């Protein structure tokens, strides 16, 4: 996406800006929301957010703060989450160690209810 694409998109949305007003250091080559500076006047600059998406539904998702994740990155995130869960489960198992031989295990105190008296 170039400054021309951004200016054309703004005009299509009803905002009249020209390509020369768009400050873009390099072309945008990734999907997502990107902050861009627009020079309205030599002393007036505003920031806009350009949403780059493959479809209107995807653009709406991104505009609401959603984040697109590449398939390979998603698989890595899922593997990391699974490893974290396994580590937590292993830690929980080691915390509940059985008593050492020769030591009496403490039995939980059980309160017995007294039988109800008959009147």
**Cα–Cα nearest to 38, from 53, 27, 49:** 49
**Cα–Cα nearest to 48, from 11, 87, 102, 99:** 11
The CATH code that applies to domain 3-64 is 3.10.430.100
Q: How far apart are CA 13 and CA 63, in angstroms?
A: 15
Global pTM reads 0.50
All structural domains of the chain with their residue ranges: 3-64, 68-95
Q: Kindly indicate the confidence band of residue 108, based on its pLDDT and cuts at 50, 70 and 90.
A: low
Task: Give the percent of the chain with pLDDT over 70.
Answer: 73
Of residues 116 and 39, more confidently modeled: 39
Per-residue pLDDT, averaged over 44-64, amounts to 84
What pLDDT, on the 0 to 100 scale, is given for residue 58? Answer: 80
């Amino acid at each position: 996406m170039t400054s021309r694409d951004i200016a054309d998109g703004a005009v299509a949305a009803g905002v009249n800006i020209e390509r020369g007003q768009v400050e873009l250091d390099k072309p945008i080559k990734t999907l997502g929301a990107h902050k861009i500076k627009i020079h309205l006047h030599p002393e007036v600059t505003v920031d806009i957010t350009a949403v780059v998406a493959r479809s209107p539904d995807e653009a709406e998702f991104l505009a609401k703060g959603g984040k697109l994740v590449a398939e390979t990155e998603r698989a890595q995130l899922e593997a990391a989450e699974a490893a974290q869960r396994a580590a937590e489960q292993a830690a929980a198992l080691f915390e509940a160690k059985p008593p050492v031989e020769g030591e009496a295990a403490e039995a939980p105190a059980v309160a017995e209810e007294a039988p109800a008296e008959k009147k």
